Amino acid sequence: MIEIYSQNIEGVWFSVACAQHQIVASSFGASQQVILSNILRSTPFNVPFQVFHEPSAFAKNILASLKSIYDGKNVNASFPLALTRLPVYTQKVLKATAEIPLGYVASYGSVARAVGGGPRAVGNIMAANPFAPIVPCHRVVKSDFTLGGYGGGLKVKLELLRREKRGFSTLKEIEANGGRLQVFPVEYVLRNLV
């Protein structure tokens, strides 16, 4: 059974769906109704679920981590994501995106080059990311450093990126799911919006 927990932390709602100490889905937003809708859309339809009012110790830790990520803090944790239920290519894209470090962004095309496939396929997976903000889909932007799309709205994507600004000035290449992923300082995006 999937256990669903939600909590309002400092005016923002966070939610996590768990099963056997794995994260099935996570979400954040302005209202409990929106995040629960996101969670239910991201959970398998053929698995029973229950919404709990008080988070378990595991869920409480995840919810606190979601808030820290939302606040632009560096969270050094390995999250047990339930990826095996997803298509293999989706898993590759999500794993590569999870490697984008705080303070950096990658383009849809850069992610595609790292794992194979095309930028539009990456964009479609980002649009359906079941693990926001753990898998930082907000850090994936267009090749011209404009924002692209975002399920929570472009204003929210921009706010997240502003909180993640670290003053970096040079691009770098990282290993991501067996490929090489070029990442750029978030400042490239922020400069482009002025």
Q: Do residues 110 and 21 share a domain? A: no
- What is the model's pLDDT at position 10? 95
For the segment 175-181, the average pLDDT, to the nearest whole number, is 89
Q: Is residue 83 part of a domain?
A: no
* 96 and 187 part of one domain: yes
Whether residue 82 lies inside any domain: the answer is no
Three-state DSSP class for residue 182 = strand
Residue 72 Ramachandran class (φ > 0 left, ψ -120 to 50 alpha, else beta) = left
CB 122 within 8 A of CB 130: no
Kindly name the residue from 111, 137, 161, 183 that is annotated as catalytic.
137
137: annotated active-site residue: yes
> What pLDDT, on the 0 to 100 scale, is given for residue 100?
96
CATH number for the domain including 7? 3.30.420
Let me know whether 110 and 48 are in one domain: no
Q: Which among 23, 39, 70 is the end of a domain?
A: 70
| CATH value at residue 151 | 1.10.10.10
> Could you give the CA distance from residue 138 to residue 16 in angstroms, rounded to a whole number?
18
State whether 96 and 18 are in the same domain: no
Q: Domain residues for 40? A: 2-70
Q: Where are the beta strands (DSSP E) in 32-88?
A: 49-52
- Does 106 share its domain with 187? yes
Overall average pLDDT of the 149-161 stretch: 88
pLDDT at 88: 97
Which tens digit of pLDDT belongs to each residue from 45-81? 899 999 999 999 999 999 999 999 999 999 988 899 9
Q: Residue 106, exposed/middle/buried by CB under 10 A (0-12, 13-18, 19+)?
A: buried
Last residue of a domain, one of 15, 43, 70: 70
The proportion of the chain whose per-residue pLDDT surpasses 70, expressed as a percent, equals 99
What pLDDT does 194 receive?
60
One domain for residues 114 and 47: no
| 120 and 165 belong to one structural domain | yes
Token duo for residue 76: 């050094």
| Concatenated DSSP letters of 92-144 | HHHHHHHTSPTTEEEEHHHHHHHHSS-HHHHHHHHHT-TBTTTS-GGGEE-TT
Does residue 77 belong to any structural domain of this protein?
no
70, 103, 121 — which closes off a domain?
A: 70
Average pLDDT over residues 16-37: 95
Cα separation of 101 and 185, whole Å?
A: 10
pLDDT at 87: 97
Residues 73-111: pLDDT tens digits? Answer: 999 888 999 999 999 999 999 999 999 999 999 999 999
Q: Give the count of domains, the chain.
A: 2
Q: Residue 112: pLDDT above 70?
A: yes
Q: How far apart are CA 146 and CA 56, in angstroms?
A: 39
Instruction: Tell me the average pLDDT of the chain.
Output: 94
Q: Please determine, for residue 154, whether its predicted confidence score (pLDDT) is greater than 90.
A: no
Position 133 scores a pLDDT of 96
pTM of the model: 0.94
Q: What's the pLDDT score for residue 36?
A: 94
CA distances from 129 to 58, 72, 91, 188 (A): 21, 19, 10, 24
For residue 135, being part of any structural domain is answered with yes
State whether 65 and 94 are in the same domain.
Answer: no
